[in-house]
Amino acid sequence: MDNYNNIEQLKDFIMESRNPYVLTGAGISTESGIPDFRSKDGLWNTIDPMEYSTRQVLITSPKKFYQYGFPRFRDLLDKKPNQGHYALTELERKGIIKGIITQNIDGLHQKSGSKNVVEVHGSTKTCHCLECFSEYPFSEIVNQLEGYNKELPVCSSCSGILRPDIVLFGDSMPEEFFEIAEVLKKQCDLLIVVGTSLQVYPVAALAELVDSLIIINLDETPFDLQAEVVINDSCGETLSKLKELIIKNLY
């Protein structure tokens, strides 16, 4: 079956569902110039996350974390949403999808105008002190590293080290994850998975909580055989075509 017919089928599933939600991963942001993690050109092929981007590294070797692990977070601030983000925003605005759960920390769903977004891996909006837990905007880290304090960003109250409010390897999942898992379990009748390999738990477990599953991803996932529709193509292009079909169906 060609992708056009698959998108038509996807449109029908969405229009027939009562409470569809969307789960997004790194694949939706690659068209915004942000590399994904596990594809052949993914970030983990050039940077070992266990060496630079873990909670343990931040605590025991903070200078190493900020020299090698942090720059990829800083780079996200200049990125812009692509057609996939805008398509989901429009579908949310029309009341077609009920919300977006994202593994991404880039904030591009909000930049495109989406309102009901749950960021299960944190975000580049805020940071806090590891000692006194004072909260700051994320820009405090960036301003210090790019200005007067180039090695370690510190708290102005107690001189403790600042850390971004991002879920690092070794961190616990935030409370928001367990809350949205309950919502999916009780309310969601269709989960549209976009741009994620569904290989990393506990987020992959969200796909096990719903009755129906749609997958839009360039590569295969472990859940493909359980999905109603699988589209192995560009997330942005697929979502844009899907949005057009749905809006055409509304009028």
The catalytic residue positions are 121
**Contact indicator for 132, 102 with CB cutoff of 8 Å:** no
**Contact indicator for 15, 223 with CB cutoff of 8 Å:** no
**Contact indicator for 105, 87 with CB cutoff of 8 Å:** no
**Contact indicator for 105, 53 with CB cutoff of 8 Å:** no
Tokens standing for 195? 């741009």
Tokens standing for 41? 């050109």
Any known ligand binding at 188?
A: no
Cβ-Cβ contacts under 8 Å for 12 (sequence gap 6 or more): none
Any known ligand binding at 129?
A: yes
Any known ligand binding at 235?
A: no
DSSP annotation of 204 reads: G
Q: How far apart are the first and last CA of the chain?
A: 27
Tokens standing for 219? 């590569």
Binding annotation for Zn(2+): 129, 132, 155, 158
Binding annotation: 129, 132, 155, 158
